[in-house]
Amino acid sequence: MARLRVHAFTITLDGVGTGTDQRADAPFGDGVDGLHDWMEPSFRGEGTGVDHAAFLAGDENVGATIMGRNMFGPVRGAWPDEQWRGWWGEDPPYHHDVFVLTHYPRPSLPMDGGTTFHFLAAAPSEVLDRATEAAGGKDVRLGGGVATVRAFLAEGLVDELNLVIAPILAGAGERLFDGLPDVPAGYRVASVVPGGSGAVHVQVVRR
Amino acid sequence: MARLRVHAFTITLDGVGTGTDQRADAPFGDGVDGLHDWMEPSFRGEGTGVDHAAFLAGDENVGATIMGRNMFGPVRGAWPDEQWRGWWGEDPPYHHDVFVLTHYPRPSLPMDGGTTFHFLAAAPSEVLDRATEAAGGKDVRLGGGVATVRAFLAEGLVDELNLVIAPILAGAGERLFDGLPDVPAGYRVASVVPGGSGAVHVQVVRR
């Protein structure tokens, strides 16, 4: 049975996943400097230990990805044209079908390396059905941003939520756990493990 | 120079310090079962390691305590009488002056063992002045609840905030970091250390 998994989703100690004023030159907004420091060594090819394992885990047995539009790019509202091809370059690091939630569908966008972006104006459960089919028996990874993860959590569609708590305070921004009163009834904390970086890795699973 | 310190202040992974419907038989409200599991061994006299050290640290070099009224007891609004003498029994574990913030002052209440409760309807800075004087050169400890810590943090009066993050989700309740946009400008995370219990100990200090 395919599972929907969130990996390496990083929040501040005060619960913020995206800072204020997210924009093209600040994909995670302001006030969250250091949010992803824990994965910097992995990006440099020098990752070790718990942090590196968490970095890698999100690629294991994943056959499709779902993300919110803000994780695809900074364009808001109707697409002015189809020039914007994602934050991720011409050879995105997915290599499978990626389903982008948006109120503004556009034609599917095949990229180099096997990644194809599909743009869907649909409910989370429908998007999950499409992604599950595309995953061909593997799991589906749910990316960000905050609103997207929250929408899938609210409907109880997430099977495994691997969070990282970064040792910083944001003060303001989008909080992952705002407006999710029913999550504790469906989910429990399975483990809390410190990484060498000062970040803490938390796994939340279904009860 | 006397410092204002918060110790063993415990929040859930989703940031909640007090659950819903706080009342006489549920001082921390509903939805936060397990919040203080990390200190249970210490209460039984079997504490060890990081958790136990955090439990003890709050008593070191403390000459006065400040707390919100909800940490003194469950009575809301005007005191119906002066029968309620606190959650803490006849010999409270303070053994010094305790300043209770309330909109409804009442006469000071001397208890056994050297604890005297004082009831103040005053601004945080005034209460801190009173407590600092009473502490006689030692530090002042700031207890809870959430609203009280938030009020002192908002005014930049806290010198050291020792938080504990419990491995549970509350879903709803009072969040410590709600409405504190300026805290990151004045404070930084000094350390993040796991306890043996699954709780994580976080020290926040002035920049």
The domain made up of A4-18+31-75+91-206 has a fold known as: Dihydrofolate Reductase, subunit A (3.40.430)
**Cβ pairs bridging A and B (under 8 Å):** 94
Say which amino acid occupies B78: A
Contact B64, B99 (CB under 8 A): yes
pLDDT at B75: 86
**Whole-number Å distance between alpha carbons of B192 and B183:** 18
Question: If one looks up domain B4-19+29-74+90-200 in CATH, what number appears?
Answer: 3.40.430.10
Contact B196, B37 (CB under 8 A): no
* A127, containing H or E segment: helix A124-135
pLDDT tens-digit series, residues A180-200: 999 999 999 999 999 999 999
Task: Indicate whether B52 pLDDT > 90.
Answer: yes
**Whole-number Å distance between alpha carbons of A181 and B157:** 32
pLDDT at B82: 85
Residues of B whose CB is below 8 A from A200: 165, 192, 194, 200
Which residues, numbered 173 to 192 in chain B, qualify as contacts with chain A under a Cβ-Cβ cut-off of 8 Å? 175-177, 180-185, 187-189, 191-192
pLDDT at A24: 81
Mutation target for B interface from A177, A180, A191, A193: give the one with most B CBs within 10 A.
A177
Q: Measured between CB atoms, which of A171, A183, A199 is closest to B182?
A: A171
Task: Indicate whether B190 pLDDT > 90.
Answer: yes
Angle subtended at Cα B77 by Cα B76 and Cα B80, rounded to the nearest 5 degrees: 90
Residues of A whose CB is below 8 A from B14: 15, 176-177, 180, 183
Tell me the β-bridge partners of B137.
Answer: none
- Among the ranges given (B20-34, B93-107, B134-148, B157-171), the one the predictor scored with the smallest mean pLDDT: B20-34
pLDDT tens-digit series, residues B122-159: 999 999 999 999 999 999 999 989 999 999 999 999 99
pLDDT at B67: 97
Contact B66, B113 (CB under 8 A): no
- Among the ranges given (A49-58, B16-25, B44-53, B195-204), the one the predictor scored with the smallest mean pLDDT: B16-25
pLDDT at A11: 97
Residues of B whose CB is below 8 A from A163: 13
Say which amino acid occupies A93: P
**Whole-number Å distance between alpha carbons of B161 and B153:** 9
Nearest-neighbour CA in chain A from B202: distance (Å): 8
Please give the ipTM for the structure prediction.
0.89
pLDDT at A108: 96
Asked if the Cβ–Cβ distance from B171 to A183 is below 8 Å, we say: yes
Q: Measured between CB atoms, which of A14, A169, A180 is closest to B171?
A: A180
Bond before B145 cis per omega within 30 degrees = yes
Give the contacts of B44 (CB within 8 A, at least 6 positions apart): none
Mean pLDDT of the region B110-124: 96
Q: Is A47 on the interface with B (CB under 8 A)?
A: no
Tell me which residue has tokens 């606190």: B86
Q: Measured between CB atoms, which of B170, B187, B192 is closest to A194?
A: B192
At B196, list the tokens: 């043996």
Rounded to the nearest 5°, which phi and psi values hold at B26?
A: -150, 80
Task: Indicate whether B26 pLDDT > 90.
Answer: no
Residue B70 — pLDDT band, cuts 50, 70, 90?
A: confident
Mutation target for B interface from A9, A11, A13, A193: give the one with most B CBs within 10 A.
A13
pLDDT tens-digit series, residues B29-50: 999 999 999 999 999 999 999 9
Residues in chain A, pLDDT under 50: none
pLDDT at A82: 85
The answer to whether the Cα torsion of B168, B171, B175, B180 is positive or negative is: positive
